[in-house]
C-alpha cells in the first residue's frame, strides 16, 4: 500500500491499528518496500529478456 502512495496513517486505519504499532511491526517494510518491489520487477523483466 505504501508503494502505491498510501500514507502510513491510511494503512494503519485500514488495518485497525495505531501508526506506532504499524511502524513497530512493519517499519522495515515501510522504509524499504519501494526498493524491494522495484528489485522484484527488475528481476522479473531481466529473466524474461533474452541476452
Residue showing cell 511502524: 23
Confirm if 11 and 22 have CB atoms less than 8 A apart. yes
Give the pTM: 0.63
Q: How far apart are CA 32 and CA 42, in angstroms?
A: 16
Per-residue model confidence (pLDDT) at position 15:
95
Mean pLDDT across the chain: 83
Residue 14 CB partners (closer than 8 Å, separation 6+)? 1
For the stretch 6-42, pLDDT in tens is 899 999 999 999 999 999 999 988 888 777 777 777 8
pLDDT band for position 51 (cuts 50, 70, 90)? low
Residue 23 burial (10 A CB sphere; 0-12, 13-18, 19+): middle
Amino acid at each position: 500500500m505504501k508503494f502505491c502512495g498510501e500514507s502510513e496513517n491510511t494503512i494503519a486505519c485500514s488495518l485497525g491499528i495505531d501508526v506506532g504499532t504499524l511502524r513497530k511491526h512493519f517499519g522495515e517494510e515501510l522504509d524499504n518496500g519501494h526498493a524491494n518491489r522495484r528489485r522484484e520487477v527488475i528481476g522479473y523483466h531481466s529473466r524474461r529478456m533474452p541476452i
